[in-house]
Amino acid sequence: MSEIKFGVLGQYFHCPVKGDFEYAAHALILVDQQGTIVSVLTDSDTQYHAQIEALSAHQQLIELSPTQYLMPGMVDLHVHAPQFPQAGKGLDLPLYDWLQDYTFPLEAKFEDMVFAKQIYPQLVQSLLANGTTSAVYFATIHKDTSVELARECLRQGQRGYIGKVNMDEPTQCPPFYIEPSTETALKETECFIQQVLAIEGNEEQLVSPVITPRFVPSCTAELLQGLGELVQQYQCHVQTHCSESDWARDHSQAQYGKTDVEIYNDFGLMTSKTILAHSIFLTPSDHQLIKSTGASIAHCPLSNMYFANAAMQTREILDNDLKCGLGSDLAGAPIPSIFHTCLDAVNHSRVREDGTSTYLPANERGEQGSRISFLEAYWLATVGGGQAIDAKVGLFQPGFEFDALVIDTAIADSNIFILEEMDSAKDKLEKIICLNSRQNIRKVWVKGQLVVDK
Ligand SMILES: [Zn+2]
């Protein structure tokens, strides 16, 4: 057995089975020097008491109090890092105005390293404090500050997947925020990949480069082709937006006569390490193509309500066993918390199920049977997200990375109220999912490294 770094003793929740949960009351989780879980013991295991004694003698035992719960770290599959200063602004505008008036001028500022260094540390710190141990980031078109974001994740110990954004189609990009040329975009992307892989201290690949075409309309076919070749060459992760709105879907049909999923597949961009943000207007054959390529979907429930024109097929995606996790889509939604995104995902599905128009009879108003449960949303945020990033995170099982949070439900300024004699384990877990805020998150580990400690 590899050398133990520490053990955590206490109660935990996780969701090995989609739609269900597991609760352990007095578990001992042993973590090795590499940050990997080596064993999960209960008091019926013969080694349990001896291990506790040994760890305790060497100050390697972290014992949780009865109001503290160990939970897997949260995975955010879709964050626009440069939009952090924009969070909470202008979300009642139409998408076009929001992008032109706020987003593109802000993203263009990240050419400036001094500006980027002012923003990115705050963002990473905020996500970690909210329990996001893994984050998949869109940066901007600028290579150097995108590498800086990767460095910042590494500095603060967050598992980061970072993309230098690509957008070169002059009819869709503002003149002040566009690649100088397709060739430059490809050269800079390749250089970005090499630089992120070579960052000092990144030998274990805590941060990874992600090939990132912004979306079909903002990229020329030559750019998509070139990015697909880089994907094959470097076997990198890929992220992009997919069939997000009526406009985006219709644009792809008009230009290529195909769906976004088909277009990405034609250009070699659909692999088991591809993350498709939004994916609202999926056809049945898109479902099949996503499944056969092993690509994943990032469901961004709140920003979809603002900008997607329709509701997500979350129920069908879960039932068809497509790979799927949750994304905050900061700043298309303002809240940097995947716990909050869980609540949004449930709300989103309920509005879809019930429908909205009071002018229609109840049975014609919504799409029956389309709700998802809190446990399913939480599974998406942990296990589903882990599968999408191709990392062994989201579960407390031997061989998984120790990415974990300690939630304390009894701090002075808590929204969570637990009544021991009335609340079952499931009640407690649902309360934590719905009511948790960053004050409740007392400790955060990524790969066995303590990165938040209150
Ligand atoms: Zn987005």
Query: Mean pLDDT, consecutive 10-residue segments, the chain of 454 residues?
Result: 90 98 98 98 96 97 98 98 96 89 96 98 98 98 98 98 98 96 98 98 97 98 98 98 95 98 98 98 97 98 93 97 98 96 98 96 95 98 98 98 98 96 98 97 98 97
Element (H, E) at 120: helix 113-129
Give ranges for CATH 3.20.20.140 in the chain.
74-388
CB atoms near residue 288 (< 10 Å): 13
pLDDT at 61: 98
Q: How far is the CA of 270 from the centre of ligand 1 (A)?
A: 18
CA distance 196 to 18: 34
Q: How far is the CA of 331 from the centre of ligand 1 (A)?
A: 8
Give ranges for CATH 2.30.40.10 in the chain.
4-72+394-453
Q: How far is the CA of 55 from the centre of ligand 1 (A)?
A: 45
Q: How far is the CA of 8 from the centre of ligand 1 (A)?
A: 37
pLDDT at 95: 86
Q: How far is the CA of 18 from the centre of ligand 1 (A)?
A: 26
Q: How far is the CA of 297 from the centre of ligand 1 (A)?
A: 12
Locate tokens 């031997």: which residue?
398
Q: How far is the CA of 13 from the centre of ligand 1 (A)?
A: 30
Q: How far is the CA of 329 from the centre of ligand 1 (A)?
A: 5
CA angle 198, 298, 352 (to 5 degrees): 170
Q: How far is the CA of 318 from the centre of ligand 1 (A)?
A: 21
β partners of residue 404: 72, 445
Q: How far is the CA of 317 from the centre of ligand 1 (A)?
A: 19
Class level of CATH domain 74-388: alpha beta
Q: How far is the CA of 138 from the centre of ligand 1 (A)?
A: 8
Q: How many CA atoms lie within 13 A of 449 on its CB side?
A: 13
CATH tag, 4-72+394-453: 2.30.40.10
Distances (CA, A) of 314 to 14, 215, 307, 377: 21, 21, 17, 10
What is the phi/psi pair of residue 5, to 5°? -90, -45
Q: What is the chain's Cα-based Rg?
A: 22
pLDDT at 132: 98
Q: How far is the CA of 31 from the centre of ligand 1 (A)?
A: 35
pLDDT at 111: 98
pLDDT at 1: 52
CA distance 159 to 74: 11
Q: How far is the CA of 54 from the centre of ligand 1 (A)?
A: 48
Let me know: does 296 contact 387? Beta carbons within 8 Å: yes
Q: How far is the CA of 277 from the centre of ligand 1 (A)?
A: 7
